[in-house]
A = this chain, B = another copy of it.
Amino acid sequence: MIKLGILGSTGTIGKNALEIVKTFSQDIELIGIGAYRASEEFLYQAKNLKPRYVFSVETPSREWLNEISKYSTYLNEEEGLGVIIEHSDKILNAIAGSSGIKATYKILKAKKILLASNKESILCMPNLIRENIKHVIPVDSEHNSAFMLLEHYKDIKDLYITASGGPFRNYTLEQLKHVKKEQALQHPNWKMGPKITIDSATLMNKGLELIEASILFDIAIEHIKILIHPQSIVHAMAELISGPIISNMYAPDMKLPIQHAIFYPEKRPYLFNRLNFSNLRLDFEEPRKDVFKAIEICEWVGSMGNPYLSVLLGADDEAVNLFLQDKIGFLDIPEIIENVLSSVNFHINEDLPDILKAVNFGKEKVKKDVNMLKYKP
């Protein structure tokens, strides 16, 4: 019986994870779930799956609290996070954005198994991740796929991770200037939250995943390649020094890597949607780095390490935020971030206060630059 905690249960990853919990209820004990909002959906999840503990960041109403207490013990965020980590063997951190940093830190310090879906927290504490790498199982489709390959193949020349290319794959720089948030929020293959969808459109998401892969698999940035693959079926490939390229593919559905991560090193039959080869086309091309500047930013930051890693996260969080508020244009996102990175003139220790300080520096500097009217939508 796997004792599982799920942080961020109302997000896309969290909901898919709960489907796995339900499917394999004989094998998984749901210790607790946590979410930002005390929403009806969260209430429904508790009612449906009866985790031992629940917590929300937002303070719930009296009625909501009364209702959820019929199924689970409600705790505030601080207590809830601690209790769920304490009683679980494995904790899925599917909190969105830099809000997930604290949870990863605590999971690793408690020596529990981290099912890592929050990429920000991998990126901002590379040393802690590397020290605890045996306790980290990636959940992202690309990294989970790479994990499955690198477990078996050791003579790696290059690791490839794929990118759908987002909705603007074939746009020119001129066209990208005029892109609106409504267009950027249309991801061709995956249904995800707004922050990661915008990050997919700028290819910042893929740039961050490049750094993430470098940390998780201890491979130099220059041996990790991004490939544009619009169908999102091949997720990762390992090119071996001995020649062949071993790839990992499946129909785009996050339940597969989530199920793999929950049961690893064991395996369970996959009972969901499988790939159909009856008329399948797969395309690959190199990313246009001159158009999608985020990749080169990430290649540089990945080779520099902290504090740039943490500042990048904060800066991107805030830049995407401002784009979603129509306060800056699409092409301003990488430009603002690049300027913020060039203004970093401090060092940090890899502990929670210092990391959060650097992330916050990134956010605040973006706000300041934008308020100075350097950019306009």
Residue numbers of A with Cβ under 8 A of B are: 145, 148-149, 152-153, 155, 160, 225, 227, 239-250, 256, 259-260, 267-270, 272, 274-275, 277-286
Contact = CB atoms under 8 A, between A and B. Distances in A.
A247 B247 contact: yes
Given A155-B267, A247-B247, A277-B286, A242 B260 contact: yes
Contacts of A278: 285-286
10 contacts: A148-B246, A243-B272, A244-B249, A244-B256, A246-B247, A246-B248, A278-B286, A279-B284, A281-B281, A282-B283
A289 B36 CA distance: 55
A244 B285 contact: no
A248 B248 CA distance: 9
A19 to B, nearest CB: 14
A152 B155 contact: no
Contacts of A272: 243
Nearest to A280: B284
Contact of A274 (B243, B269, B284): B243
Given A242-B270, A244-B249, A259-B243, A281 B280 contact: no
B256 A245 contact: no
A268 B244 contact: no
Most buried by B among A270, A285, A286: A270
Nearest to A242: B267
A352 to B, nearest CB: 35
B160 A277 contact: yes
A137 to B, nearest CB: 14
Nearest to A228: B277
Nearest to A283: B281
Contacts of A243: 250, 256, 259-260, 270, 272, 274
B283 A280 contact: yes
A28 to B, nearest CB: 16
B250 A269 contact: no
Contacts of A281: 281-284
